Structure 1
Amino acid sequence: MASGGRSQVWEHFTKGPSGTVTCNICTASVSQGSGSLKFKNTSNLWAHLKSKHKEMYEKRQKEAQPTTSSLMNMTQPNLKQVLEKTTKWTPNDPRTQEMDKLLMEMIATDILPFTVVEGAGFKRVMAKAEPRYPLKTDTFFRAKKMDEIYTGVVNKIKKLLSVENAGNIISFTTDCWSGSNEALMSLTAHFIDKNWKKVQLVLNVKSLSQSHTGQYIGETFLSMLEEWEIDEERVMLVLRDSGVNMVKGMRLVEMPDLSCSAHILHLAINDGLSSQRVVVDILAKLKKIATHFNHSVTAQQRLSKIQEELGVPQHSIIQAVQTRWNSTLHMLVRMIEQKRAITAYASDHGHFSCLSAEEWSIASNLAETLGPLEEVTLEFSREDSSTSCIIPCLAVLQRLLESEGPTTRGIQTTRKFMLDSLQKRFAKVKDAKEVVLACALDPRYKERPLVPEILVKVKTWLKEAMETSPPDYATQTPSEETDPKRPRTEDQVPSLLDSLYDTVLLPSTSEAVEPEGIIEELERYFREPVIDRKSGNPYDWWKHNTNRFTRLSVLARQYLSCPPSSVASERVFSTIGNIYEDRRSSLKGENAEKLCFLYYNLPLLDWSY
């Protein structure tokens, strides 16, 4: 049968416009048996083909015969085949075990309650998708399958943490969190692997059973290291918040630690925002406006109508949140965008006092100042960021807050207090050995942001580090040289922050010291141009230049592994909050720890363990 249900015989005949049928082989006219369309058939066409063109007729008849395989497919299934399609798989069937594994991974990575497998909707889907799968209870996944998968992932993570892969040095972040039912302590690991890839792992979300004293926090930290078979000597740096107990805990167990840069920046910015009365009053007015719209559906509907009439973007009003300083910036930007709509609303409906023209001008200037500060906050919070960015960021912010111009009018006091607070709060951080060496060993910055007296310390610290650092042969692999210079594209307009970075990263004018040993290598490294701050990847640069700087590359792999903040640990607690939702409010801390661990690490391992 030809495609579309048309007889194969028509491949040898053509129907003309008048309805006559002509043989394509001998051009003879052949009748279809009736003048009526309803009773026409192809019998005469086949008869003509058989009598006049027998060879072609036999060929077509042979092609029309069903094959043995098609006849077999048309036969009814036997009892075994029927049972195969309807019989439930056994618990030990590999297909059952694979489905169990996939469902547990789904529960962990999608943050679903275990009881999802008991739901009527889930059972209907499984009955349709794979009726042979024997459904399991939530207890099976909670008490058995989760532990099996957790154990497999733990073993894979331990291999990643081995000296052969992670090197001799690992950095960590840690933080504490208290919920309604549990108190937890997080631990994340950060290192550069043998392929110069920066890796971040969530190791623990440990349930705390005692008061959060410094001693208990320190002991818990050591117990987590021991659980992962990590020697204390491998700890490069521990990033933590500035809480008294956390600081004391790290000091008691003699761990090299550093305050979270994002948290310090948050405090310094808040110091500035609270220092000037006019700024405090403006922010209070804007918060009151935001509260009005966020608490009233009617107000939102009225505002939306005004936005449409004025041609203003139909965006919601943003409220500032005390725990995130950049929400204040987002509120300012949105209020300025909606200035006309808010003013019109206040005129028509009242409920709040709108800002004066002078106050709107100050709010605009404040947003201009806070914009670059948010860029630095995001730089501190990125997963691939290193402590190397701290000193350059501080140098840029200092220049930003010291500058004066039309956009600083009305907020000079705020900027001055912000600058003073930054210098005071970061005083110890910017002089820390781990921070300074990370900056010097980052090909985007090198010695450019460092003052001469600190540069002298760099050389001393590098000599000491080479003497005390064990050899790290994983970094000494063959590589090809690459051009370290990656210029910015011509059509890219530099922002204010970019321009300030360009000034900070100008070549140093300090006199060179007579090179010797690692210092010779350092001077040669410093003489090369820095790579582009935005497009350049320091880890790729070192990967391709390891053989050219064999000593420095060992140290670069260690010092560039440190993150600038403890945001990684704080993000873990955001996930914990989602895990402890209403449907899982009674979840045990141990199970929450395992779910959080799997949530982060299963995708990292690409579900292969």
Structure 2
Amino acid sequence: MSSVWSFFKVSEEDPRYAVCNECEGRVMRGGVRAKSFNTTNLITHLKNKHPGAYKEYEKSANANKQWKKANATAAAPVGSPIEQALEKTKKFHKDHPKQKALTMAITKMITVDDQPFLLVEDEGFREVLDLAEPRYDKPSRRYFADVALPALHDGVATHVHKLLDSDVNDISFTMDIWSSYLNQTSMLSLTAQWIDVNFEMKRAVLHAQEFPGSHTGTAIASAFDAMFTEWKIQKENVHVVLRDNARNMVKAMEECGVKSLGCMAYLGQLAVHDAVLSQQSVVDSLAIARKIVGHFKSSSLGTSRLRDIQRETGMKTKLLQQDVPTRWNSTFLMMTTLLEQKRALVMYEADHGMPVSLNANQWSLIEKMTTLLAPFEEMTREISSHTATAADVIPSVVALKRFLNKTAETDSGVKTTKYKDRYFDADLKQVAKNKLEKEVDKMTASVTTSTSATDGHTPDREEGEPQEKRMCTQREGHSFLDMFDEILEEKEPDEQVHGYLSEPTLPRNVSPLQYWQSNKTHFPALATVARKYLSAPCTSLDSERLFSAASNVVSEKRNRIGTERAEMLLFVKHNIRLLPKTGKAKG
């Protein structure tokens, strides 16, 4: 923290200003957004208006520099035991490594744990800090909100920029719009997903920004263009955007000029609803089921009695689950819990009665529905996992269709899924193979062009650098004899596709990213294609998960939080895991 803050404090009325302790004048902190705050105007104000205070600031700043240099490593206190004891009671200097480390740790805790900034002024929290480290000079909540959080945000944003700039050619995205019922704020999300050169999947939240006004396709497209510009992402590097199937979203992606796909989980929701849950007999049975669950949700006495029956019959005490009609898997869960508690419910009805009840035919129908929907629920869980990619879509759909065509419901033979071309019929196999070869040819041409551009004297090569030196640098870490094996392993593009398709299929529990990490030198062009296409997720759930977190950020405890600060909190919360681990501060 700059020494200039000894002469200023953050304005309580408007955090964009600092109040001078000398003249109580308000000084702009360098911008309207917290990200752009700095101390330049504050230092200039002291220099022009308060020369004496400015000299004190310069003396303090120079002393800080000397102190930091002399205390780069925390030395043990010297002197008598009394002097050492007194030293331990002194508050840390603002630039002390332990002071900075504790402030950063508290800022991370507020962000990751969705705590309000007011926490740092709570009596219990301050008592814990005093006990853990009495030398820590506790900043105000204003400092954490206006200084510490923007600084942490800038550090995380710089690292994400660095990751995106490091040999990333193809990026996939998810997007969604969320509205808070607490303060009527709408936010537009943009999450990125890509595969690095080591075939590790990387994910980052780029935006969760305020989106006021009408949510038209044109407005969404304009916002996306601004997001891509801010992150310096070229549209030719956008592999695909996962979105919901709303018309404004489809139109937005068309106007934005990027490829997009509908969320598979959303399409599954529509398929199950239209084909199964919309049938009148099912609708009637589910209406009764919801009333039964609602009876126990609204009656503590009924819940207590049901638990007594569960204990008496040796059943696990379990609450019934209410569904959300727009989420078919929650309806599946409700039906499953009802079937599990059928015996207890029948006994409850006999002893105490219920407003409504299911007849034998309706119980049988619910049982058949759960059997029918079980593979859909299993597939939804599979495609919604963090490891799922667009490559799982066709295998999942084909396996599900085959399962549903089985006459024996207990047949589990189709649950073993394999990769490559097994999920295409004869005609589609050839079409898919042709497209794959075309994509490999394109990648190979791109690599060849890039390689030839670096041969000889090019702008990328530093002036005056000898050709021999450059080639020696490229070969560093390799033996000349290794080149013989490398040449023998190299395959032409068509040979790569043929060789890949001729290999044994992988067990389903083997990660395709692990496979390509091991085979990227064996099939180099195909590996490049794999990095592009495997980056795409199956669903837009990353954005939905983001807004589940947003409901915690904009919560009852933080219902007055501004959208700019909410975006910073969401950004840091989801991206802080990308930062490299740091060592503990000494003190």
Q: TM-score, normalised by structure 1?
A: 0.72
Matched residue, 1:221: 224
The CA deviation at 1:107 is 0.6
**Secondary structure, aligned partner of 1:590:** helix
CA change 1:385–1:231 in 2 (3 A) is: same
Of 560, 570, 584 in structure 1, the residue corresponding to residue 558 of structure 2 is: 584
Matched residue, 1:336: 339
* CA distance in structure 2 between the partners assigned to 1:232 and 1:375 by the alignment: 35
Matched residue, 1:171: 172
Matched residue, 2:364: 361
* CA distance in structure 2 between the partners assigned to 1:282 and 1:336 by the alignment: 13
Assess if the C-alpha contact under 8 Å between 2:244 and 2:263 holds in 1.
yes
Assess if the C-alpha contact under 8 Å between 1:200 and 1:383 holds in 2.
no
Matched residue, 2:524: 550
Of 537, 541, 546 in structure 2, the residue corresponding to residue 572 of structure 1 is: 546
For the pair 1:457 / 2:431, whether they are aligned, the reply is: yes
**Secondary structure, aligned partner of 1:161:** helix
Assess if the C-alpha contact under 8 Å between 1:236 and 1:256 holds in 2.
yes
Matched residue, 1:447: 421
Matched residue, 1:346: 349
The CA deviation at 1:558 is 0.9
Assess if the C-alpha contact under 8 Å between 1:237 and 1:256 holds in 2.
yes
The CA deviation at 1:603 is 2.4
**Secondary structure, aligned partner of 1:206:** strand
Matched residue, 1:156: 159
The CA deviation at 1:383 is 1.1
Of 318, 321, 346 in structure 2, the residue corresponding to residue 318 of structure 1 is: 321
The CA deviation at 1:194 is 1.0
Assess if the C-alpha contact under 8 Å between 1:101 and 1:145 holds in 2.
yes
Counterpart residue type for residue 138 of structure 2 = L
Assess if the C-alpha contact under 8 Å between 1:368 and 1:407 holds in 2.
no
Matched residue, 1:526: 501
* CA distance in structure 2 between the partners assigned to 1:76 and 1:345 by the alignment: 78
* CA distance in structure 2 between the partners assigned to 1:78 and 1:327 by the alignment: 66
CA change 1:95–1:209 in 2 (3 A) is: same
For the pair 1:296 / 2:291, whether they are aligned, the reply is: no
Assess if the C-alpha contact under 8 Å between 2:245 and 2:262 holds in 1.
yes
**Secondary structure, aligned partner of 1:229:** coil
The CA deviation at 1:201 is 1.2
Counterpart residue type for residue 471 of structure 1 = V
For the pair 1:238 / 2:238, whether they are aligned, the reply is: no
* CA distance in structure 2 between the partners assigned to 1:594 and 1:444 by the alignment: 42
Matched residue, 1:502: none
CA change 1:607–1:219 in 2 (3 A) is: farther
The CA deviation at 1:207 is 1.2
Matched residue, 2:577: 603
**Secondary structure, aligned partner of 1:583:** coil
* CA distance in structure 2 between the partners assigned to 1:546 and 1:93 by the alignment: 47
Q: Kindly report which structure 2 residues correspond to 1:123-202, keeping only aligned pairs within 5 A, or say none.
A: 123-164=126-167, 167-180=168-181, 181=183, 182-202=185-205
* CA distance in structure 1 between the partners assigned to 2:316 and 2:387 by the alignment: 35
The CA deviation at 1:453 is 2.5
The CA deviation at 1:396 is 1.6
Matched residue, 2:22: none
CA change 1:299–1:235 in 2 (3 A) is: same
**Secondary structure, aligned partner of 2:110:** helix
The CA deviation at 1:569 is 0.5
Assess if the C-alpha contact under 8 Å between 2:118 and 2:141 holds in 1.
yes
Q: Deviations over 1:194-246 (max 9, x none)?
A: 11111111111011133211111011112111111111111000001111111
The CA deviation at 1:163 is 4.1
The CA deviation at 1:403 is 3.5
Q: Deviations over 1:417-438 (max 9, x none)?
A: xxxxxxxxxxxxxxxxxxxxxx
Assess if the C-alpha contact under 8 Å between 1:365 and 1:407 holds in 2.
no
Matched residue, 1:42: none
Of 232, 239, 254 in structure 1, the residue corresponding to residue 257 of structure 2 is: 254
Q: Deviations over 1:231-278 (max 9, x none)?
A: 111100000111111111100011100000011101111112333222
* CA distance in structure 1 between the partners assigned to 2:544 and 2:99 by the alignment: 37
* CA distance in structure 2 between the partners assigned to 1:186 and 1:196 by the alignment: 25
* CA distance in structure 2 between the partners assigned to 1:606 and 1:346 by the alignment: 59
The CA deviation at 1:351 is 2.3
* CA distance in structure 2 between the partners assigned to 1:532 and 1:566 by the alignment: 26
For the pair 1:537 / 2:538, whether they are aligned, the reply is: no
Assess if the C-alpha contact under 8 Å between 1:177 and 1:185 holds in 2.
yes
Matched residue, 2:104: 101
CA change 1:385–1:297 in 2 (3 A) is: same
CA change 1:329–1:407 in 2 (3 A) is: farther
Counterpart residue type for residue 274 of structure 1 = L
Counterpart residue type for residue 338 of structure 2 = M
Counterpart residue type for residue 171 of structure 2 = I
| RMSD between superposed Cα atoms in Å | 2.5
Matched residue, 2:118: 115
* CA distance in structure 2 between the partners assigned to 1:76 and 1:216 by the alignment: 68
Q: Deviations over 1:93-149 (max 9, x none)?
A: 222111111110111111111110011111111111111111111110110111111
* CA distance in structure 2 between the partners assigned to 1:285 and 1:599 by the alignment: 42
Q: Deviations over 1:395-434 (max 9, x none)?
A: 12222333345799xxxxxxxxxxxxxxxxxxxxxxxxxx
Of 305, 310, 313 in structure 1, the residue corresponding to residue 308 of structure 2 is: 305
CA change 1:132–1:183 in 2 (3 A) is: same
Counterpart residue type for residue 262 of structure 1 = A
**Secondary structure, aligned partner of 1:582:** coil
Assess if the C-alpha contact under 8 Å between 2:441 and 2:493 holds in 1.
no
The CA deviation at 1:76 is 11
Q: TM-score, normalised by structure 2?
A: 0.75
* CA distance in structure 2 between the partners assigned to 1:552 and 1:467 by the alignment: 9
CA change 1:295–1:374 in 2 (3 A) is: same
* CA distance in structure 1 between the partners assigned to 2:572 and 2:171 by the alignment: 21
Assess if the C-alpha contact under 8 Å between 1:239 and 1:566 holds in 2.
yes
Counterpart residue type for residue 542 of structure 2 = A
Counterpart residue type for residue 191 of structure 1 = W
Matched residue, 2:447: 471
**Secondary structure, aligned partner of 1:584:** coil
Q: Deviations over 1:439-487 (max 9, x none)?
A: xxxx94101101222222223323432344433999xx99x9xxxxxxx
**Secondary structure, aligned partner of 1:471:** helix
Counterpart residue type for residue 119 of structure 2 = V
Assess if the C-alpha contact under 8 Å between 2:437 and 2:497 holds in 1.
no
**Secondary structure, aligned partner of 1:311:** coil
Assess if the C-alpha contact under 8 Å between 1:444 and 1:536 holds in 2.
no
The CA deviation at 1:327 is 1.1
Q: Name stretches of at least 5 consecutive residues in structure 2 with no aligned partner.
A: 1-77, 412-416, 452-476, 483-490
* CA distance in structure 1 between the partners assigned to 2:396 and 2:536 by the alignment: 16
Matched residue, 1:436: none
Matched residue, 1:396: 399
Assess if the C-alpha contact under 8 Å between 1:317 and 1:335 holds in 2.
yes
State the percentage of identical aligned residues: 35
Of 82, 92, 95 in structure 1, the residue corresponding to residue 95 of structure 2 is: 92
**Secondary structure, aligned partner of 2:129:** helix
**Secondary structure, aligned partner of 1:173:** strand
Counterpart residue type for residue 111 of structure 1 = D
Q: Kindly report which structure 2 residues correspond to 1:500-511, keeping only aligned pairs within 5 A, or say none.
A: none
Q: Name stretches of at least 5 consecutive residues in structure 1 with no aligned partner.
A: 1-74, 409-442, 481-515
